[in-house]
Amino acid sequence: MKINKTFIEGLLIVEPQLFKDDRGFFYESYNKNDLDKVVNVVFVQDNESKSNKGVIRGLHFQKPPYAQTKLIRCVSGKILDVAVDLRNNSKTYGKYFSIELSSENNKQLFVPKGFAHGFQVLSETAIVNYKVDSFYNSKSDSGIIWNDKDLSIDWCLDIKPILSSTDLKLISFKELKSPF
């Protein structure tokens, strides 16, 4: 497993080693020993979603004490995955990082606590799986509107985005009083 840093401290790209032969392929999608060499995290829950092309989910986060570290992967299809740094004392506060995650490239994004996270489906459908280190708590659920003008996220849109009614009501980055 190869773990690469991004320009945002703590945000990591995880690339499993793929073993291919004439039968197909095999890889370890998660190896605690490998990840423990870089970060200390204990995952407690796996989540999975299936979405259609153009769906944007996010930008979500949970406020402390229920903030979540996530390890995201796309097991079918292709997504643009986005993480926004909400850590008040970070050099990259308010900056975002995006990466294409797909069933073809098998890359994963490790997102520590203190980030808003979201993704857009680029393929006809996509199944996204992610591990979290804290259980979901509806009272700590929060987020930032996907098209915030100050964040200026390039979602690589080629069709009109599809969002939940909840995600359409999220606040702007300027309105956010970051709890991190």
**What are the residue numbers of the active site?**
60, 130
Residue 19, phi then psi, degrees to nearest 5: -110, 110
CA dist 84 and 95 (Å) reads 6
Q: Which two tokens stand for residue 106?
A: 């098998």
DSSP state of 162: B
DSSP state of 165: H
CA dist 159 and 53 (Å) reads 9
- Give kind and range of the element (H or E) at residue 32: helix 32-36
CB 159 within 8 A of CB 134: no
